[in-house]
Structure 1
Amino acid sequence: MTNEVVIVEAVRSPLTQRQLYGRIHCELAEEKLLDVTVNGLLQRAKIDEDEITTVVTVGDGAASRRHAESWRKVFPHIDLHESMTTTAAMKLASDAITAEPRRTVLVVGATNGDCRHETGASTGRPTPLEADLRRITQQNQIEYVSASYRRARECALSGDFRREIIPLELHLDHEMTEFIASDELRQVCEPAGAHRLAPTPAALPVSNGGAGHDCQLSLHRAHSARGAGALVLTGASRADELGLHPRGRLVGAETLFDTPLTGVSVSHLESVRSYLRSMGVSLNRIDQFEVPEEVAVTPLIWLEEFGLNTYMLNPRGGALALGHLAEIEGIRCLTTMLSALEDTGGTYGLVATSGLEGSGLLLVECLNSP
């Protein structure tokens, strides 16, 4: 494993979708979330700040860029890079480490919860084809949305998310402080309209199924959430040298499409099969899939096309329940997936990332399975 790229640690902040007591607290600003998350990451990974050689920011947030630039003011040797997607950031980190195995790369990003786009034709996003949707009914979508909420709720109650979250200290006033160590500031209840799917033409484009077709993109879109995520990667030999115990191996990171996966089609998924074959990992060796949940149709097509057990795909809930983190959603998915693989004894996990700038895959091997 000497020259391989390993993931030493991956964490995220608590996710928020609402104000606390009707107030906006400074600790929930992007800059603060980034600072707390990165500091917590380095403490858990047992890596000194001066060991970081490269910082890659994900997304187009000004806060992430300012955070990275502040690092270079203290450590002039640090290389800074920007990327619009998690997959592109991980590929950049992988290429840098492969070229120079002693590099230690921080991949970091944050979002303030402002949705920059909506699913639909107005953004140029494709909608699934009739052939891809013929077995996906509105009832399928309703059931999937409910399942995503239920899984996230069960995992929160059982403490499954604790390993991935860096607690946040929230100062309510000069006398009261609250420690947020879970996603309690997000929307935690299934929306009141969970069992009502009646999109209007103005609000939502229908599929290509024609008049009377039962398969429309669900109004159950993921709510935008505020949060931060961070990973630290290095070469396996460098990790040994530093006495670190990596959680995973980055097998591959590749941008496959120049369109979002929200409008996933069977042709997209054929490319996924081809990619896995090229990496020498067959589909039946993947223990967990994390796929975009901006709308319910996307994971349902993955389940249908690959014939997956439902608990192999987004087993701890996805963006429909937790909230969507824009470009850094891939970091959240990868962080959640590593913990789930460790807890279940899984080996390989696949993260599909999606964004307006393109979609890709992250293939990871868990190294800490019992």
Structure 2
Amino acid sequence: MTTAVIVDAIRTPSGRGKPGGALSGEHPVDLLAVVLRSLVDRHDLDPTTIDDVMAGCVTQSGMQAVNIARNAVLAAGLPETVPGTTIDRQCGSSQQAAHFAAQSIMAGVNDVVIACGIELMSSHPIGQATLGYGTTSSLLNDRYPAGLVNQGISAELIAARWGLDRDDLDVFAALSHARASAADFSNEILPIGEFNHDETIRPGTTAEGLSGLGPAFYDAEIAARFPEIQWRVTAGNSSPLTDGASAVLIMSEERTAALGLRPLARFHSFAVVGSDPIEMLTGIIPATHRVLERSGIRLDQLDSIEVNEAFASVALAWLQEFPVDPTIVNPRGGAIALGHALGSSGTRLLTTLVNQLDSTGGRYGLQVMCEGGGMANATLIERL
């Protein structure tokens, strides 16, 4: 089987996903195009050799509609012969793009693929693409007559099930900001104009300061339906709305060598699972078990782990289930500080993981991502 390797991984800085955010004036097609063009130019890559561009994007409406991957390819000035496709696996969309890209190379179908992601939440808020959703499927309503819930409620259910109190969540959130504030992201960030830092990081954040925030998702009907919820999830211990794009250049090992390029890591193993769509965010636990079983790698062999911090309760539940040194989990901070630009988050986490392994000399890295609707992706890479 052909080996698929990561040659480069870059991302934009994280912008606040609201009007006035540093990236809010960008067109999402242009923002993704800048990242694609930079990835090609950094290696003097002949763009005619790119077999495909696979982009994650969750809100595929408005400026992000009509296959944003293809539009970004054209906007980047890449040859018209380069195709593009857009993937929606909710929060794990670009992680799935990386899976599909690597798997196409491992199968011998492609040699050079860019996996990427984009989300401009300042202009494409959650829910924009859901007009009419849930009103036509009688079969889905029959299966879940009480109705599905939003991810904030799922985060509350996880906090209740794993016995996480408010202080646990706020302490973890403050740690995310502290780690991100101390980290050096210069090797992975592509400046957009003069904007060259993550706008979502809040240095000096403390658990005490976060403790004054009220619950973000309280709903009286939900409270009656789930009396176990204690309403501990706030804006402070959740990931913020974010704008951003990211991309990973993936090649066959043979093509990388022929071009004289240095591979950073290889794709080792993959997993994707479905999980309860009510609790929704717990799929990272079976996904982790599955990818470790398939890879033959033990938990104690992992040198760095990225667990997407959609909510503090999700990462803390994962940490309760897996006895690892907590200092190797999100060592540069996570989405609570660095933001969660939905469609971009998968390749953003992969970018951070690759750079962390490269800077520390670690060998194995794991990335897991919870996803809307009750799914999760897991990716295991090996630094070269």
Q: For this structure pair, what is the TM-score category when the shorter chain's length is used for normalisation? A: 0.7 to 0.9
Match of 1:29 among 22, 27, 51: 27
Higher mean C-alpha displacement, 109-118 vs 47-56: 109-118
TM-score between both structures, scaled by the size of structure 2: 0.79
Distance in 2 (alpha carbons) for counterparts of 1:218 and 1:19: 18
Distance in 2 (alpha carbons) for counterparts of 1:91 and 1:261: 26
Higher mean C-alpha displacement, 308-317 vs 58-67: 58-67
Distance in 1 (alpha carbons) for counterparts of 2:40 and 2:187: 14
The answer as to 2:351 corresponding to 1:335 is yes
The answer as to 2:276 corresponding to 1:249 is no
1:99: how far off? 2.7
Gaps of 5+ in 1: 170-178
Name the counterpart of 2:141.
none
Name the counterpart of 2:211.
195
Aligned residues: 347
Match of 1:223 among 194, 219, 240: 240
Match of 2:171 among 124, 143, 166: 143
> Does the 8 A contact of 1:260 with 1:359 survive in 2?
no
Name the counterpart of 2:139.
none
* DSSP 3-state at the match of 1:252: strand
Identity of aligned residues (%): 25
1:57: how far off? 1.6
- Note closer, same or farther for the CA distance 1:76–1:33 as it changes in structure 2 (3 Å cut): closer
Match of 1:116 among 122, 126, 138: 126
1:356: how far off? 2.1
User: Match of 1:40, as an amino acid?
Assistant: S
* DSSP 3-state at the match of 1:314: coil
* DSSP 3-state at the match of 1:251: strand
- Note closer, same or farther for the CA distance 1:340–1:268 as it changes in structure 2 (3 Å cut): closer
> Does the 8 A contact of 2:291 with 2:380 survive in 1?
no
Distance in 1 (alpha carbons) for counterparts of 2:306 and 2:278: 12
- Note closer, same or farther for the CA distance 1:132–1:72 as it changes in structure 2 (3 Å cut): same
The answer as to 2:312 corresponding to 1:302 is no
> Does the 8 A contact of 1:207 with 1:216 survive in 2?
no
Name the counterpart of 2:192.
168
1:206: how far off? 6.2
The answer as to 2:257 corresponding to 1:240 is yes
Distance in 2 (alpha carbons) for counterparts of 1:210 and 1:19: 33
Name the counterpart of 2:332.
316
What value does the CA root-mean-square deviation take over the aligned residues? 3.4
> Does the 8 A contact of 1:206 with 1:217 survive in 2?
no
- Deviation string 1:138-159 (CA, Å, 9 cap, x unpaired) is 111111011001111111xxxx
- Deviation string 1:273-304 (CA, Å, 9 cap, x unpaired) is 23312211111111111112111101111112
Gaps of 5+ in 2: 129-146
Match of 2:303 among 287, 298, 315: 287
Name the counterpart of 2:51.
53
- Note closer, same or farther for the CA distance 1:37–1:355 as it changes in structure 2 (3 Å cut): same
Match of 1:81 among 73, 76, 85: 85
- Note closer, same or farther for the CA distance 1:57–1:198 as it changes in structure 2 (3 Å cut): closer
The answer as to 2:10 corresponding to 1:11 is yes
User: Match of 1:164, as an amino acid?
Assistant: E
> Does the 8 A contact of 2:306 with 2:330 survive in 1?
yes
Distance in 2 (alpha carbons) for counterparts of 1:315 and 1:32: 31
TM-score between both structures, scaled by the size of structure 1: 0.81
